[in-house]
């Protein structure tokens, strides 16, 4: 993974296994790609197997936080007999720089991928300068 240039979004990540009442729970730091367009930063997170209602996205002046919980207690196909996937909790935080319109951040979840769009404030957008 490399950061090709300084951006307004800095990633923080950590995977872990923690003991719980019903065995171990895996805390997963979902893989992310960050794109910059002229108008926004786009954070793409790999979070398969979830429904969008279980995902929480929050942002304040400094941190974008994404979290969700996944449990495999059974399916409509029958009772769960072998549980190798186990319980997963997704957690990822990104440190935000200045110049993001917090009130206009939006997220979409489709086919296991969460896209979070962070619109740039006008003062940080690149502008064409006319030559006189």
pLDDT in tens, 120-129: 998 877 777 8
- Report the distance separating Cα 6 and Cα 92, nearest Å: 20
Q: Is residue 126 in some structural domain? A: no
DSSP string, 54-111: GEEEEE-SSEEEEEEEE--SEETTEE----SS-EEEEEEEEEE-S-B-GGG-EEEEET
pLDDT of residue 16: 55
User: 23 falls in which pLDDT band (50, 70, 90)?
Assistant: low
Q: How many structural domains does the chain have?
A: 1
Dihedral over Cα of 118, 57, 29, 31: its sign: negative
What is the value of pTM for the model shown? 0.74
113-119 and 40-46 as β-strands: parallel, antiparallel, unpaired?
antiparallel
Beta bridge partners of 88: 26, 70
- pLDDT tens, position by position, 51-64: 899 999 999 989 99
Q: Which range (2-16, 40-54, 56-70) has the least confidence?
A: 2-16
Determine, yes or no, domain membership for 79. no
Residue 21 DSSP SS3: coil
- How many other β-carbons are positioned within 10 Å of the β-carbon of residue 102? 13
Mean per-residue pLDDT, 7-27? 58
The helix or strand, by DSSP H or E, that contains position 17, with its residue range, turns out to be: strand 16-20
* 28 belongs to a structural domain: yes
- Selection from 6-10, 12-16, 111-115, 125-129 with the highest mean pLDDT: 111-115
Structural domain contains residue 4: no
Range of the domain at 91: 9-73+84-119
Q: Can you give the CATH number for the domain in which 103 is found?
A: 2.60.40.790
Report yes or no on 50 lying in a domain.
yes
Please check the confidence at residue 12 and state whether its pLDDT lies above 70. no
């Amino acid at each position: 993974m490399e950061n090709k240039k300084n951006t307004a979004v800095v990633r923080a990540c950590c995977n872990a296994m923690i003991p719980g009442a019903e065995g171990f729970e895996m805390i997963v730091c979902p893989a992310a790609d960050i794109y910059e367009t002229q108008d926004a930063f786009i954070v793409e997170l790999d979070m398969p197997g979830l429904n969008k209602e279980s995902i929480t996205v929050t942002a304040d002046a400094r941190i974008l936080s994404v979290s969700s919980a996944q449990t495999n207690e059974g399916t409509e196909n029958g009772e769960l007999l072998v549980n190798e996937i186990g319980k997963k909790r997704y957690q990822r935080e990104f440190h935000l720089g200045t110049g993001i319109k917090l009130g206009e951040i939006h997220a979409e979840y489709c086919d296991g991928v969460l896209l979070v769009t962070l619109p740039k404030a006008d003062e940080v957008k690149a502008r064409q300068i006319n030559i006189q």
